[in-house]
């Protein structure tokens, strides 16, 4: 039934304010009331995410938010809290669980990153991470397809949704585009040229990302080894890392790896990342020694992080992550 003006959620709140002698003009309270439908959908999506993974025999876990040593990454800054840090990701603790014999794990949790703010970034945000042993990044591509098709089907009853004037189809096949092909197709140069000219990130963000996932989702895969992070390199071509990012509507939604399980190689990468932090004038984090030690017992695995706020933003056709959380930081 179509609501008449003034009889919807916001209208009822404005009337109540007026009846109480309060200012009937827009306020934070009735703006919150106007988010009711979005927050209801958000709750349904979180329920459906848990249902999806439980049906696939994943164990939901909770790991500490306050940790002594985040993974050192040059472009991600953790929020200090006393002599510890708020997690930027649950990755290190979840991998220690894999090393202890847990075969399939998922977690929906709060993560924190310093100085991240914009229409697609919140300093405190919700992350979905999942891991499976004896699997690789290709397996995770298939699971991403299954998850998003399931969520869209649950929400809309179809494998298609509208985002900012575009119709995005989730039916297979999804586009799979190598990083090298994307740079040549949209960037006008090779990956090696971009790295040599120190413009990889700039070209990716300004020229390539706007073209990804515009009609159907795009997996951007096989990143250069220099940007492997915690991913293993390809056995057939060590210049490349088994890593992909998932894009919908030009927006990065997820980042996945075939996980690196060589403790020596991971230690070398962390040392290099710490040196980059120091060179940027940042204080390096404490050494994540227990994680490095656990890697020697970790089986071959694949893992992925997916931004829940961005997912809700996309599936509800909102322009900003502010629209899909109850309290953006500026409203507190």
Distance CA 166, CA 175 (A): 16
Give the residue from 147, 203, 197, 195 showing the smallest Cα distance to 170.
147
**Is residue 8 in a domain?**
no
Buried b (16+ CB within 10 A) or exposed e, 158-173: ebebebeeeebebeee
Tens-digit pLDDT profile for residues 113-142: 998 899 999 999 999 999 999 999 999 999
**Is residue 100 in a domain?**
yes
Tens-digit pLDDT profile for residues 176-209: 999 999 999 999 999 999 999 999 999 999 999 9
pLDDT at 27: 78
**Is residue 48 in a domain?**
no
pLDDT at 270: 97
pLDDT at 9: 40
**Is residue 38 in a domain?**
no
**Is residue 7 in a domain?**
no
Spacing of C-alpha 163 from chain mean position: 18
pLDDT at 26: 61
**Is residue 88 in a domain?**
yes
Q: What is the CATH number of the domain that holds 100?
A: 3.30.930.10
Strands (E), 99-217: 104-112, 124-133, 160-163, 166-169, 175-178
Number of Cβ within a 10 Å radius of residue 136 = 17
**Is residue 5 in a domain?**
no
pLDDT at 149: 98
Q: List, for the chain, all residue ranges whose pLDDT scores fall below the cut of 50.
A: 1-21, 23-25
Domain count of the fold of the chain = 1
3-state class (DSSP) for residue 146:
helix
**Is residue 176 in a domain?**
yes
Per the structure, the complete domain to which residue 136 belongs is given by: 59-331
pLDDT at 15: 43
């Amino acid at each position: 039934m179509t609501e008449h003006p003034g009889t919807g959620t916001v209208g009822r709140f404005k009337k109540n304010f007026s009846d109480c002698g309060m200012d009937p003009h827009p306020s934070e309270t009735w703006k919150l009331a106007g988010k009711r439908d979005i927050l209801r959908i958000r709750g349904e999506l979180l329920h459906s995410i848990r249902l999806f993974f439980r049906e696939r025999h994943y164990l939901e876990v909770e790991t500490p938010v306050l940790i002594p040593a985040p993974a050192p990454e040059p472009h991600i800054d953790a929020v200090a809290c006393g002599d510890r840090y708020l997690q930027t990701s649950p990755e290190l603790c979840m991998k220690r669980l894999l090393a202890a014999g847990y075969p399939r794990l998922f977690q929906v949790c709060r993560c924190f990153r310093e100085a991240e703010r914009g229409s697609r970034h919140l300093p405190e945000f919700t992350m979905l991470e999942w891991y499976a042993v004896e699997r690789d990044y290709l397996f995770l591509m298939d699971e991403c397809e299954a998850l998003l098709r399931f969520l869209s089907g649950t929400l809309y009853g179809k494998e298609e949704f509208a985002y900012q004037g575009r119709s995005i189809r989730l039916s297979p096949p999804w586009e799979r585009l190598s990083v090298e092909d994307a740079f040549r197709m949209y960037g006008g140069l090779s990956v090696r040229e971009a790295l040599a000219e120190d413009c990889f990130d700039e070209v990716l963000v300004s020229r390539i990302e706007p073209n990804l996932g515009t009609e159907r989702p795009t997996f951007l895969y096989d990143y250069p080894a220099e940007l492997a992070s915690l991913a293993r390199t390809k056995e057939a071509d060590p210049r490349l890392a088994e890593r992909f990012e998932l894009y919908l509507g030009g927006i990065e939604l997820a980042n996945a790896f075939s996980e690196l399980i060589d403790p020596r190689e991971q230690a070398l990468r962390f040392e290099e990342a710490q040196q980059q932090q120091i060179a940027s004038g940042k204080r390096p984090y404490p050494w994540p020694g227990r994680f490095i030690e656990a890697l020697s017992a970790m089986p071959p695995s694949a893992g992925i992080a997916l931004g829940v706020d961005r997912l809700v933003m996309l599936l509800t056709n909102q322009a900003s992550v502010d629209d899909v959380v109850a309290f953006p930081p500026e409203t507190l």
